[in-house]
Chain A
Amino acid sequence: MEKPLTEHIRKDGRPLTLKEYEAIGGYQALRKMLKMTPKEVQALVKDSNLRGRGGAGFSTGLKWSFVPQDDTKPKYLITNADEMEPGTFKDRILLECTPHQLIEGMICAAYAIQANISYVYLRWAYKTAAQAILNAIDEAENAGYLGKNILGSGYDLEMHLHTGVGRYMCGEETALLNSLEGKRANPRAKPPFPQVSGLFGRPTIVNNVETLCCLPHIINNGSEWFKKLSLTADAGTKLYGVSGKVKKPGAWELPMGVTLRELIEEHAGGMQDGLKFRGALPGGASTDFLVEQHLDVKMDYTSVAAAGSRLGTGTVVVLDDKTCPVGFVKNLEHFFAQESCGFCTPCREGLPWVEKILTAIDAGEGNSDDIKLLEHHTRYLGPGNTFCAFAPGAMEPLQSALKYFRDDFEKHIHDKKCSYKLIANALIHEAS
């Protein structure tokens, strides 16, 4: 099983130095690519069927093709390394362990759209990654891979690290641009799309860390090779992760399209003793629950969508049978209510209301109309009613929880208490 993105990661977690990266074939893709035209690079990546690994799953090559192909300057290439989707911890691994792989991928993407300025927009909390990237940029500049006239090709690219100051919205690409411009990270209206009018009004591409890390391998090995890495029609490998009460939580690079069952039962070692699988968010906080009937769903963009959810970031959060689904969703909606940028009314007012209702139900103070009220919100805050995808994303776990765990909501309201808390307290009492 090939693991091009992670096979050379050191066991001790230290980043690969430039020398170590070159020794395993690093920057060979750059040499090869500089002999191609930008259009050829775009065509290759489009043909590889690489889809954005940040959560939306849009074709990377197609996204690039919207950048005007003229000589006006500047154009920008930005890495979205603002990993902050609750339950997601995949880009951290690539950032900390293989910074040169990201830099090489960024040079490939920048060359394909003829950008001469690039930024890594990194989450503030990733301190180890920040150091790794700063060192790697320095090494790459000294080796002639960045800066003026890269490897004598006549192509120039400067690269900067920008560390954020914390806000989930910054992961939305237009909000990220506002943040980079020193503004509040409110999303922008589309159109115009960033590919035409992005950072400082200039053509800009924003790509996810994992997406960019695929590029050197596609250039080295070709689009057919990349497609064959996958078990399904969505190409490549994918960094999957599992967290929650499983035996061996972790992250693994696997062929795109492994099943949810394989992830949980084989790679994560199954549920902890005494616990049963109840459901899971397949790709972070803003994805719909999958339940037992979906365990054999293939974890790719198309199959997870067909099962009524989204692959999202591919990092699974597991709900077990002794954890309260109402409390679980309350925790998610607290996050969304807090992180809403406040720019549009349904999101700003609706999410705290949802949180308030869930808090009441969880505390045994819900009333019989509350479920209807929550359902109303899942429509009112759904697609088309808000300025960006934030609130619709926040409604995904709620609407699916109301569908699959409805009994639990009703029981909380009827019994005026959370029976999961009573079980948890009894267990603690027993243990002491």
Chain B
Amino acid sequence: MLSTEEIKEIEHAIKLVPHKKAASVEALKVVQEHRRWVSDESLRDVAKFLDMSPEELDSVATFYNMIFRKEVGKHVILVCDSISCWVMGYENLRDQLFNRLGIKYGETTPDGLFTVLPNCCLGTCDCAPAFMIDHDLYRNVKEEQLEEILKRYD
């Protein structure tokens, strides 16, 4: 069931476009903002609200990298794996992150705190390697800084 707050925000998104379907990406964003990810149940609820079939909405949801159709942890770590970060040796940083958290790409720590995902170029190539944790961008990351950065999230 969509919450009152979610319905309010989706209705606002619908007002800005010529027809309901055009608000589909915005509506998925609303649900994810409130629940961290889009479950099958949420997907069906949003589809119904927008007069779409769940299949049609899911074809949109699964197209985009940043709509999560599987449960993610409280904090999502997005590791830039594109060319400038590769040249600057991001793979060592990635491996250290995997070791420290005991997980790989697409996995969540057992305490539900972190999910790690690979990500395309974050657009900060002169400060490679880079990663994001939720809304925070970390640039020029050195391996010895990793522990201190992770401690900021609980």
Contacts and interface: CB of A to CB of B under 8 A. Distances in A.
Interface of A: 83-89, 91-92, 123-128, 160, 163-168, 179-185, 200, 241-245, 249-251, 281, 285, 315, 317-320, 323, 327-328, 331-332, 334-335, 338-339, 341
Contacts of A124: 66
A179 B86 contact: no
Given A124-B66, A182-B25, A182-B26, 17 more contacts: A84-B121, A84-B123, A86-B82, A86-B83, A91-B123, A165-B65, A165-B66, A182-B17, A183-B24, A184-B60, A185-B63, A281-B83, A285-B82, A318-B87, A328-B83, A331-B81, A331-B83
B42 interface: no
Interface in B108-152: 119-128, 132, 135, 137
A84 B121 CA distance: 6
A123 to B, nearest CB: 7
B16 interface: yes
B2 interface: no
Contact of A165 (B17, B22, B25, B119): B25
B121 A85 contact: yes
Contacts of B121: 84-88, 285, 335
Interface of B: 16-18, 21-26, 28-29, 59-60, 63-67, 78, 81-84, 86-88, 119-128, 132, 135, 137
B126 A245 contact: no
B56 to A, nearest CB: 9
User: Which of B86, B120, B122, B125 has the most chain A CB atoms inside 10 A of its CB?
Assistant: B125
Contact of B125 (A88, A164, A335): A88
A315 B83 contact: no
A245 B63 contact: no
B16 A160 contact: yes
A328 B87 contact: yes
Contacts of B81: 331, 334
A244 B126 CA distance: 7
A126 B123 CA distance: 8
Contacts of B28: 165
B66 A166 contact: yes
14 contacts: A87-B83, A125-B78, A127-B135, A165-B29, A165-B65, A241-B126, A249-B128, A281-B83, A317-B84, A317-B125, A331-B83, A332-B83, A335-B83, A339-B120
A242 B28 CA distance: 37
A418 B19 CA distance: 55
A341 B17 CA distance: 24
Contacts of A319: 87
Nearest to A332: B83
B83 A89 contact: no
B86 A328 contact: yes
Contacts of B83: 86-87, 281, 285, 317, 328, 331-332, 335
A237 B13 CA distance: 38
User: Which of A165, A317, A323, A331 has the most chain B CB atoms inside 10 A of its CB?
Assistant: A165
User: Which of A85, A181, A315 has the most chain B CB atoms inside 10 A of its CB?
Assistant: A181
A243 B129 CA distance: 11
Contacts of B66: 124, 164-166
A123 B123 contact: yes
A243 B125 contact: yes
Contacts of A244: 84, 87-88
Contact of B123 (A92, A200, A242, A323): A92
B82 A87 contact: yes
Rank and list the top 6 A-B pairs by shortest CB-CB distance, nearest first. Answer: A166-B65, A243-B125, A249-B126, A166-B66, A182-B24, A165-B64
A112 B87 CA distance: 43
User: Which of B23, B60, B65, B120 has the most chain A CB atoms inside 10 A of its CB?
Assistant: B120
User: Which of B63, B81, B82, B83 has the most chain A CB atoms inside 10 A of its CB?
Assistant: B83
Contact of A87 (B17, B60, B65, B84): B84
A92 B82 CA distance: 17
B63 A167 contact: yes
A51 to B, nearest CB: 22
A302 B66 CA distance: 37
Contacts of A241: 125-126
Contacts of A320: 87
B64 A166 contact: yes
A178 to B, nearest CB: 10
Contacts of A168: 120
A180 B60 CA distance: 12
User: Which of B22, B28, B78, B126 has the most chain A CB atoms inside 10 A of its CB?
Assistant: B126
A335 B122 CA distance: 13
A320 B16 CA distance: 49
A86 B120 contact: yes
B125 A167 contact: no
B59 A184 contact: yes
A243 B139 CA distance: 13
B124 A92 contact: yes
A92 B125 CA distance: 11
Given A165-B64, A167-B63, A285-B82, A125 B88 contact: no
B70 to A, nearest CB: 15
B22 A182 contact: yes
A125 B17 CA distance: 23
A148 to B, nearest CB: 17
Nearest to A85: B121
